[in-house]
Structure 1
Amino acid sequence: MADRLNGRRIAILAADGVERVELVRPREALREEGASTDLVSLSEGEIQSMNGDIEPSERFAVDRVVSEAKVEDYDALVVPGGTVNPDNLRLDADAVGFVRDFVAAGKPVAAICHGPWILVEADVVRGRTVTSYPSIRTDIRNAGGVVVDEEVVTDHGVTTSRNPDDLPAFCERIVREFAQG
């Protein structure tokens, strides 16, 4: 195990409908580098992950409810995708505020696939270069973001990727960004 993230505490914000691989792979990459991670969600208990948006996969235990989570308790934030996950998150004022407060605090934030939807809702893409799953790019543009079709993009502390195929580059980049703070 490497130690670039020893002592770092990372929040992973996810809800029912999260794309399993987009939760698991970044969490593994962060833990392999020594970070501790908390799955932060809308309510206590477990969330249902999906393979694609159709096939239910594993359930994951929630470590902390977003209404009780504090930005100062974490060094960075990851928002996995799946179509349903960020759609659920962006309807929750506490989740939106949590994302907005992370960006306002200058702490690194990462979102993949449909995950940037909550960045749009939190009004933190304005003026930033962002990538995402193609179906939400109009939303990003309408929110003032500059959309590019690239594997991974980091702009002013916000890292984004397009889809699960980008996970190797996404994981490598978030480890690097989170290590730098």
Structure 2
Amino acid sequence: MSELFAAAVSIAPTRRRRFLWAAWWTAPPSREPFRRPDASEGGARSRDEALRRAEKAAGRTLVQIEPLWARAWARVLMGEPPFTQTTGDATRAAPRASREPEQASIWQLLGLTPQATVAEIRAAFRQRALVTHPDRGGDPEAFRALRAAHDEALARRTRTAKRPRRKRPES
């Protein structure tokens, strides 16, 4: 009887910059119930080395499939379920419109350009603080954001204003 599937290998990188491979040659991998691989091994230094080791164990050439199968096998080895409930649509990024709006830059909050001087930053902060300060009827969150923008702008200015240390003349 001919094979109805191609023998497959899944190769995934590990946290230690090595590669884990899992190979299936008697039957394809399945999600429900999770089918364990026919052979697996970790510690290969490259993808090519992992593929060679897997093909040697299988005794035939293998087709590479998605690394999610090797990661699932690694989770099983650690005693966890092979696939988390968030796998699938939930892990994809939300559409741009439904995400929260990006925070305004510190320069927009202060109403300045990135080339503003320290004196201009302080003056802009004082002027905007009169409007946004909670004691004057402003929004506390807006004032916190303004304060953070002021601190960051001053930190950036002092970083760029520092002069490099002079090198001692060689004698």
User: Where is the helix percentage greater, Structure 1 or Structure 2?
Assistant: 2
- TM-score of the pair, normalised by structure 2: 0.20
Higher relative contact order (CA 8 A, sep 6+): 1
Which structure dedicates a bigger proportion of its chain to strand?
A: 1
Provide TM-score, normalisation by structure 1. 0.19
